[in-house]
Structure 1
Amino acid sequence: MSVPERDEFDGPWSRTPPPRPPVFNAMPPAVLLIALSIVSVSLLGQVWPGFQRWVFNAGVFFAAESGAVLPRQPLGPVAPFFLHVYIHFGLFHIAMNLAILVATGRAVGERLGYGLRGSAGFLLLFFTCAVTGAVLEAIFHQGPPTTMGGASTAVSGLIAAAGWVRGGWRGMARLALPWIAINIVIGLVGDLMPIPIAWLGHIGGTLGGIVLTPLVIAVFAEDRA
């Protein structure tokens, strides 16, 4: 007696799951654009030292008390509020930020959509969180001027945004509040032992994500009613 052949992926009892597509196949375009631009700037700086110096001088953010004299920057004092996301201090720094960008950005980007409007909303959210992180760092900075760089201000906002996408306010709280608490601990420890982490920038970026995410999704999500 012959037995009819069955599709090995058919039915709930199948032991072999269907193959999953590579992670970048379904990556939202805005996430890929940001990730590739960060990597490209870093790689180009490695082979062209002059470009690396210019990007650093133009993009690094100086956190300083009011009235401090700061170096003049090629693109002026406003550009670093955005461009500091392209300044990284070592391979581990850039790898960590890219990992968080991909992990959180995919969920947020999928919720906004893959088209032009959704991508614009994602870019707006990302860079505005970078700005809110830099602003908080500047407002509450004490002591001598210090430099701040890295996409961690922006991806901190995406941590809050990913929580919202997955579970509304409760989901946001589950991701954002522990991240804020970790950075407060870093700040307290830093009073005893200096730690080169812009914890205020992280908190500022997270707060930006908390405030902005519902608004950005309401305006830019491509499947909104």
Structure 2
Amino acid sequence: MTNTHLATPRCKPNSQPLGPREPFRPLPRSLLALAGVIVCIELFLELADRGILSDPSLRSRVYMVGAFWSGLLHGARPIFEGQGWTMFVTHAFLHGGFLHMAMNTAVLLGLGRFTADRYGAWTVLPVFLVSAVAGGLAFGLMSSDPVPMVGASGAVFGAERTMNPACEQTPVTSLTNAIRELSRGQTT
């Protein structure tokens, strides 16, 4: 028995030979700005954890209002009006520590570079935000855990869906197809 889903290519194979390597190009400003915001938030929280800039309880308080709490989708009471909506984006800017942030930022710079090169520098933030919402939605649907989610992993790896150069899709179409496949239990 063959799995036709796996046997049927979704995109034409890339028949173009690999060309010479392009010279180094600086990262797009939009990508650097996004990474900079993520790094600054984590550095501030790290300094607060050590009692240098603020009370060491700051990270916990920031998580209370900015992390993704799946319970808010299942009737838990929000701290402020709109928290159930804002958490779909804010969780992507918070991390569990410096290493968590560094790993996500490194992947963001690599995958975000590809997204910017292929679709334009202006697409980096929309792809990141749409992917953050999709990641939050997936987490919210699959988890009833009282532990919150933080991190940019879902937002960062949404850019992975833009990496197949043989597919003529927009970033949003590519992400929509990925969400549809996940909802059917399929993966590529």
Please report the TM-score for the alignment, with normalisation by the length of structure 2.
Answer: 0.66
Change (3 A) 1:151 1:44: same
2:105 maps to 1:59: no
SS in structure 1 of the partner of residue 76 of structure 2: coil
Displacement, 1:20?
4.8
Which residue matches 1:168? 167
Which residue matches 1:154? 155
Task: Report if aligned partners of 1:57, 1:73 keep a CA contact under 8 Å in 2.
Answer: no
Tell which structure's C-alpha radius of gyration is larger. 1
2-structure distance, mates of 1:86, 1:76 = 15
Please report the TM-score for the alignment, with normalisation by the length of structure 1.
Answer: 0.56
Which residue matches 1:42? 42
1-structure distance, mates of 2:134, 2:106 = 21
Residue identity in the other structure for 2:147: T
Is the helix fraction higher in 1 or 2? Answer: 1
Displacement, 1:74?
7.9
Residue identity in the other structure for 1:147: P
Identity of aligned residues (%): 26
Which residue matches 2:175? 210
Higher relative contact order, structure no. (Cα contacts within 8 Å, ≥ 6 residues apart): 2
Displacement, 1:75?
6.2
Which residue matches 1:129? 131
Displacement, 1:37?
0.5
2-structure distance, mates of 1:60, 1:106 = 26
Residue identity in the other structure for 2:125: L
Aligned length: 151
1-structure distance, mates of 2:174, 2:62 = 26
1-structure distance, mates of 2:38, 2:119 = 22
Equivalences for 1:33-112 in 2 at 5 Å? 33-47=33-47, 48-50=53-55, 52-64=59-71, 67-70=74-77, 72-73=79-80, 76-112=83-119
Equivalences for 1:18-37 in 2 at 5 Å? 20-21=23-24, 25-37=25-37
Residue identity in the other structure for 1:130: A
Task: Report if aligned partners of 1:65, 1:145 keep a CA contact under 8 Å in 2.
Answer: no
Structure 1 gap ranges (5+): 1-16, 170-206, 214-225
Displacement, 1:55?
3.1
2-structure distance, mates of 1:18, 1:168 = 22
Which residue matches 1:199? none
1-structure distance, mates of 2:28, 2:23 = 17
Structure 2 gap ranges (5+): 1-19, 48-52, 179-188
Task: Report if aligned partners of 2:42, 2:97 keep a CA contact under 8 Å in 1.
Answer: no
Change (3 A) 1:154 1:52: same
Residue identity in the other structure for 1:137: F
Task: Report if aligned partners of 2:131, 2:175 keep a CA contact under 8 Å in 1.
Answer: no
